[in-house]
Chains A and B, each alone.
Chain A
């Protein structure tokens, strides 16, 4: 298919662009296969807007006489309005945008066409390999091994080809365990806490069904992660009710009688559609400036977004607490919500994860198969509600932001980094967030055909934008407060386009200047002291002479 077929009117003149808090600009609109480009042709200060079609969530058309208006709502929550003279042009452009922003085939997406303009220092696709992680692990413990059992994605299509499992469990047993777990997502290592050797595992629900099926190998595997005399926790991120209902469909939960050393905790985290609805309501509330105080607060409450944040943070902290108190534990059911609380437990536990690059090492969502493409297909404005969409990754980022706000010096990355990840998870020129799991990604040959986001980020000029100037390595576990008074709306994302941020930005810049200036002054004082000391020793030498 040629993009040209979809673009009936590639260019329109005298288009007026309206954005909140900016003056309207007149210019030319161009449509390309992947971008909507708007350029004001004024000599003095030419403004350009490049918008990826994949960033467009929904569009609306309106006509007044022959002047057409297109309102574009983006996945990064921005809303822009284009006034296009001429009914036909406007209709053509609208339908082109609609078609181009909802391309079915992944291989037509921009990452497959994007050619980087920067020098690649390090291939992001090769930056984070399980082998390297395992090397780190094997330097501290000998209880684990790499298993290539999933090499051709033959056991579990949503797991990476190489996983880390207890040494005492052989591949044969793993195969059996896989048949006992939903989607074959058998328990694998997710995080190893160096401080006390406790581990975090992840898996999907066991297929116990109504008659309480058992699997010896599964029990053996889970027990193998425990040291003698220790107890472990199984955290099921569904409520007990939901877990019980799942039995009717062949799923279920670990019976305590069969896993005597384990205790099961149910910590409910909502399902996808509820989360998606929550996001839609929240964005709606944030976008309406006319709300009076009561209405705003009740809308914010009705969205339940902060409740979800609190739940996930609580579950994550609970998990982290289990580990830090020398209890081992395993995780309930695979994928989305689990992934997010999983990772957050890590953030709070592990200072290594506060490095912007290393941050994504613990991107278990990615490696362990968070279905990005399904979850991030649409954002808050879309009318078409698909079953699989959920702002799980955004929730995760929001939770990280909450912790970052409470511990502003403990993270090497800053808020911008989180916002950048949010944007790229929805629409990007990079292939990192394409596909739903490793299997799909390797089938799409993403590493060969697209650019990794990390290749772009891992260059000093980009990296410096995402670094937190206040960062000081902190090897302790951090425990955020989850009291509702301590949680805040993430303004950087949800109010980003709804209020002028000039004063806040300037203040932030000033803050950075103070830090920079501080470093300069310190360096200068050091240099001067050295110079003075040299002079003194010099004098002494001369005296001696």
Chain B
């Protein structure tokens, strides 16, 4: 516990600050300011801690979080600062899974609730919903004991014609043994999205089993003989991989395939792109042009567009040509997950519901071995493995929600909350890199699943404008990927910088209103029932009406007290309507005033009260 710590405003050039006390707990860093407002930061969320050179007011400490919060403390004594710095470094770098928050987090659920929570999402059920197993696809037990591929789940769906030797042979020809398996089956078109890793083709190697495997996939589609093979990497990267004995499919060796590169960059490019984006958006006193050129130079939106373009390509192949598509990148767990899951989201409206989105993440990301632990740096590991691949997926979905405001049951808050917990290590879902690892960690016994908690508070995540029947042409979404449709996701990257957001949220208002509408509907029913009850038999109504019209004047007098009761009928939700801290000091132009006032300190007092607006 350190007292008299100052929390600086991230964007203000003046030294406006809040003074308060900093506490370190086993799991959180807690700052309570003088007005008793609390800022909680989970240790697992801390991405970097930096101690800046000593200043006159104390020792500055900058903490960057994985959820894009950046806090800037000034600790009065250097020794305290040093202690905090060291403790945070230790606490934020966990060496073992067992030390993660999820293993100590206790949400007061009993055992059966815990088990039930884990059973909420059942992938076997999901494949059944898609329509497999069927005449063409079956459940394979080849990987039952993780013998063929350690990073795949136990249950895999493959074409019926693909025998075990073919699977084994194919897996030996694929990087990390990740052979082609079913990711999504489109019932109406009888076409499938399959995923795998790159073939170990080198410059000329072939594998008959792998060729059979692909043939089996295209044969499993009765409506179209050829299939697409999408390599989500840029062509150059794929060619370079050939030198390492890997590479891509040669169209001549496989019958009836159409091969296509879609050019999504690798995890390292994405990591540095995000780094650049954050540098730009974190600049103090940023000009519009610096922001736009920074946005351009970071390439971030270009990457998002590339991911979505790839998904659109995939969807067209399935929806327009009824062709099956096989998607891979290098290892088939980053870009492949992005493209497959986005493709399924565009094709199937189920994934646009709250439950469906959970299923989608469980299926294409968690079960197929997206390396959450490495990518999100849950344990102290190789910094080169960190990459915002999943963040990009969420951002792509957000872009779709912006284009189709009525197509999604969930809202932005849902996406942000998922992003929060991917990094929080509070729940077991995203721990580890593969299903095998998760089983070894006994996560289902020792930790809790995130999904039931999200479902419990799903009111918060519901999109009030959602229209379940929103289905332009058979539930298919056709997003427009012209560049100007992609916007900077302010609510993600500046989630904690309040001053940047609109001070009144239409969305929240509408959400409350539609919530209130449900309440009102119930009230009306109740009131109508009461009135009916009072009336007893229909004759009474007539009598009453007659009575009322006979004595209108006294009635009016008598009813006046009732009007008072109506006043507090609907409590205006203050939390929504209150506009937090809309004051001049929050905004950039105030700095001009500050500079200006330095020459004439008597003229302008800097700290003007917070204009709290309640409307």
Contacts and interface: CB of A to CB of B under 8 A. Distances in A.
B513 A518 contact: yes
Contacts of A506: 406
B406 A533 contact: no
A317 B503 contact: no
A486 B292 contact: no
A196 B547 CA distance: 57
Interface string A365-389: 0000000000000000000000000
B189 interface: no
Given A470-B506, A484-B288, A293 B483 contact: yes
A304 interface: yes
B517 to A, nearest CB: 5
A310 interface: yes
A532 interface: yes
B531 A511 contact: no
Contacts of A265: 592, 596
Contact of B559 (A408, A521, A534): A534
B545 to A, nearest CB: 11
A85 B467 CA distance: 46
B287 interface: yes
Interface centre among B11, B406, B569, B615 (most CB of A within 10 A): B615
B261 interface: no
B530 to A, nearest CB: 6
Contact of B593 (A289, A306, A321, A470): A321
A498 B480 CA distance: 11
A526 interface: yes
A321 B592 CA distance: 11
Contacts of B54: none
A241 interface: no
Contact of A510 (B465, B500, B587): B465
A448 B221 CA distance: 75
Contact of B611 (A301, A318, A479, A530): A479
A327 B485 contact: no
Interface stretch (B74-82, B131-139, B600-608): B600-608
Contacts of A464: none
A231 B604 CA distance: 10
Contact of A406 (B487, B502, B547): B502
Contacts of A296: 483-484
Interface residues of B, number: 92
Contact of B500 (A317, A321, A483): A483
A306 B488 CA distance: 15
A294 to B, nearest CB: 5
Contacts of B590: 321
A6 B403 CA distance: 46
Interface string B579-615: 1001110111110110010001001110010010101
A293 B305 contact: yes
Nearest to A309: B288
Contacts of B484: 286, 291, 296, 489, 495, 498-499
A321 to B, nearest CB: 5
Contacts of B301: 293, 297
B527 A528 contact: yes
Interface in B1-42: 11
Contacts of A314: 588-589, 592
B542 interface: no
Given A481-B587, A507-B465, A521 B524 contact: yes
A408 B502 contact: yes
Contacts of A405: 502
A521 to B, nearest CB: 4
A529 B562 contact: yes
A511 B562 contact: no
Contacts of A484: 286-288, 290-292
B108 interface: no
A300 B292 contact: yes
Contact of B527 (A294, A485, A525): A525
Contacts of A500: 480
Query: Taking each of A410, A485, A524, A534, which has the highest tally of chain B beta carbons within 10 Å of its own beta carbon?
Result: A485
Contacts of A248: none
Contacts of A81: none
Interface string B487-521: 11010011000011111111001100110110011
Interface string A443-485: 0000000000000000000000000001011101111111111
B296 interface: yes
Contacts of A473: 615
B523 interface: yes
A534 B499 contact: no
A325 interface: yes
B603 A297 contact: no
Contacts of A294: 296, 299, 302
Contacts of B528: 528
A474 B583 contact: no
A289 B480 CA distance: 10
A524 B405 CA distance: 29
A307 B504 contact: no
Contact of A476 (B406, B464, B516, B613): B613
Contacts of B281: 485
A522 interface: yes
Interface in B362-416: 403-407
Interface string A485-512: 1111100000100111001101100110
A298 B293 contact: yes
Contacts of B480: 499-500
Contact of B600 (A263, A481, A503): A263
B503 A514 contact: no
B258 interface: no
Contacts of B11: 483
Contacts of B509: 409, 470
Nearest to B304: A293
A275 B246 CA distance: 55
A88 interface: no
A197 to B, nearest CB: 18
Contacts of A498: 482, 484
A368 B355 CA distance: 59
Nearest to B463: A507
Contact of B582 (A295, A304, A479): A479
B129 interface: no
A407 interface: yes
Contact of A483 (B286, B292, B516): B286
A318 B544 contact: no
Nearest to B582: A479
Nearest to B298: A297
A531 interface: yes
A231 B603 contact: yes
A537 interface: yes
B293 A301 contact: yes
B517 A521 contact: yes
A482 B589 contact: yes
Contact of A292 (B302, B530, B570): B302
A120 interface: no
Interface in A233-283: 263, 265, 267
A483 B588 contact: yes
Contacts of A511: 464-465, 506, 510
A291 B483 contact: yes
Nearest to B302: A293
A535 B500 contact: no
B325 interface: no
26 contacts: A265-B596, A267-B592, A296-B484, A297-B293, A297-B296, A301-B292, A307-B287, A309-B288, A317-B584, A324-B608, A406-B502, A406-B503, A409-B504, A474-B615, A483-B286, A485-B286, A504-B405, A507-B405, A514-B517, A518-B516, A528-B528, A530-B562, A532-B534, A533-B559, A534-B548, A538-B544
Which 3 A-B residue pairs are closest in the complex by CB-CB distance?
A507-B405, A296-B483, A484-B291
Given A291-B483, A314-B589, A407-B503, 9 more contacts: A306-B288, A307-B288, A478-B503, A498-B482, A506-B406, A525-B520, A529-B527, A535-B531, A538-B548
